[in-house]
Structure 1
Amino acid sequence: MNKTETILLVDDQPENITIMIEALHSQYTLLAATDGAFALERAASEPRPDLILLDVMMPGMSGHDVCSRLKSNPATQDIPVIFVTSLDAPDDEARGLRLGASDYITKPISPPVVQARVRTHLDLKRAREQLQRQNTALEELVRERTVEVVEAQRERVESLKHFAAAMAHQIRNPVMSIGGMAGLLLRRAPEGSRLADYAEAVREDSLRLESLVGDVSEYVSLSAGAFHEVRVEGLVEAALARAREAVGEPERLRVESALQPALVRVDERIVVMALAEIAINALEFGGNGEVCLSIRGGAEAAPGWGGADRARYGIQLSDDGPGIDGAILPYVTDPFFTTKARGVGMGLTKVKRVVCDEHGGTLRVESPATTSEKDGGQGTSVLLDLPLA
């Protein structure tokens, strides 16, 4: 008979080992140890036993101590242990099971019982190992498929970028031509005439369409490139400078900043753009006066939401503007949604793309702003998080 499974017999009484050998030798390869120290050595050596029959009452190192040591060693922790003992009190059995034993056999042993218990736990061990192999194979398959999906998605994004760039080029040229001809017609039309009004309307719509093409092109180009470690303070400073330059009235923006110093790993170019969009929104909706933008950042920047994840850095930007009507708040990150007379409504859509899609983060917009200073007053808060370096 081919004996493919190995059992380690541990007992300080040779006669007990002899009895177990008689019960099991025809089916298994057997190893023996008469003390705890030697048992641990044999268990960790090759061939590694598939199961251990372990006496509890041994001098020096007890069976309980041996079991505890076996289960604390990664090399032997998965080997099933069956206690063989004359102790039959429920508390003794419970103690052994708490230590990690798989079963309990009381002395004097019955060979058929020993054979049945051993076979059961070897079958269970084999089933666990087979399940582990299947799980490992499945995980590897999932990893391979994930790589394939990511690569296919990257190719689709690249294709979309090329398509959008080509479409933008094809649309922008005639739009600029239409706008130019409308401007020429406007200069030649009699002032105040209906022809001048028509020419002005065509010129304004051509400018709006050109702006729309530019925004869509920028949105498609927001795929993250190389990620680098960047200081959060530097990102915010660059974004505020970009926002002030975009609105042309830098003195209108007052900033109160409380950023915990940290390094994040991001594509700096698109993150600066996203943060700048938030500040620009605050200025555009804040009327003609001064706008105060409160910026907080760190692991505790926004307790209770995604930014509290210790692996990410949360940022909260809160303005003191009029706030956003609750009826439209759920739609402010949707493409082309805007309540402004001018603009195409892509600002927060681009922010969502950068934070969520390209950096795996969370974005939330709240109004009234959730700052301790406002205590539920007006204003809007944008909460987002970025991966820590």
Structure 2
Amino acid sequence: MMQFRKEAILIVDDQTTFRQALKSILSELGFTGIEQASSGREALVIMKKQAIDCVISDWNMPGMDGLELLQWVRTNPGTETIPFMLLTANASRSSIDAALTHGVNDYLIKPFTMQRFTQRILRLLQGKGVVAPRPSPKLSQPVLGLTNLDQEERKSSVLIVDDAKDNIEIAASILEDDYQIQVALSGQKALEIVHGKQVPDLILLDVMMPEMDGYEVCRRLKADELTQNIPVIFMTSKDQPDDVAQGLELGAVDYVVKPVHPTILRARVRSHLRLFKAMRHLNNQSQSLAENARLREEVENINKHDLKNPLSAVLQATERLLVDPDMSDKQKEITQLAADAAHAALEQIDRTLDLLRMETGSYLLEPVIFDLGAMLLRIGKETQLAFSDAVEIKQTNDGQANYMAWGDEGLSNSILSNLLRNAAEAAPSGSQILCHLSLANEQLSITIHNQGAVPVAIRAHFFDKYVTAGKANGTGVGTYTSKLYAEAQNGSLQMQTDDEVGTTLTLTLPVCKQVN
């Protein structure tokens, strides 16, 4: 027999047939509360009128698209923790990163199978209430994202537990204008309430009660995973230090002495609710980071598989060409450069998970010795071949016997490929790109200079993620990853630019002391 599910799911897509197809799948899974919207704006109207437990939205829609809808959901009080799945045919890294930055829970690439959609939506809903993505806070907002706490406090509920009705009425009259009030005349009733539908955000608990006193109630609350984080404030006429200490040791956050003073009670309740909400927001953000990391790693693994197959085919083709006796030396040189570039691309694909680990602070460098001079020479030739009609790449050095570096060869290869390609794209047609390699103070240094200037609008944010200018298909991650890769090897990457002189990028990496 089918088990019906109570979650309210909102499907947002401008194509009626696609919405109906998703609705049919969800209905077969037992979902009955399915709402539909043909646009982001229509979705907003629905979400303002009724509670929604999950949003499944297409990205590309006229008017308000799926990403804009996601931004609204994550910044609107009351909807910020709703699980959100984006559906799109765009699998580019910049799109995925943008969705993750704004707090998407899951990201499904079209076309997808019914089985894959079923697995993802069920997994998403199983995690509901655990993962609560939040966008990165704006500079003008507090770190913990507390701008809407006053509104949240007014929606908070306070459970007052006391065996004396008069005491409950006094406390309730002080707090009822600001909070939703629940009451219990015994410890047992209080425990029933906290396990009911409306879990209180804070408990005011009398100590002296028959059958089950406040200490025992508090002990049981703190022993239960479902209730252990609810702040408890004791209300009692027992104000001796030992009594206060006993309550605090059991996990209470504060003590209010009877008869309660209205101003003090309001201040204590407000203070602890703010702290409780702040900690919950912080915990949600931490869990969001972990979930985003999981989602990004899953997407990266899919992309690695999809990209490595055609590159492997290119490598096999170049290997066959290189052993062809009819190939001229020049043709073999060009083919070898193509093979080297394909190898480097495969290496960069494998590095995508390293980038994620660097961003989350979990990357571990395993340095090796490699020839930075030979690497620069090879990548310079590859870039020259790709831009042979546009620029000339000229390489010089300070005359050292060798330029052996101590770091990660793959990361360094990626840095130089990015920097030289960017320089070639930015340089005026017919100009030179000057590369100079030198050794000083146990550091290898490469300067790459081109005659183009970085636009004024992005100079201060040149190494920031997604910053780009003048490139139709630019993602704005090349310089960002290059700087991250350099610093991961205990090196550095700096930029200087001038409208008259041009732009110089300086990369430094540690030298291998055993050789130099």
Normalising by structure 1, report the TM-score. 0.42
Greater share of helix: 1
Larger RCO, structure (CA 8 Å, separation 6 or more): 1
Normalising by structure 2, report the TM-score. 0.33
Which has the higher Rg, Structure 1 or Structure 2? 1
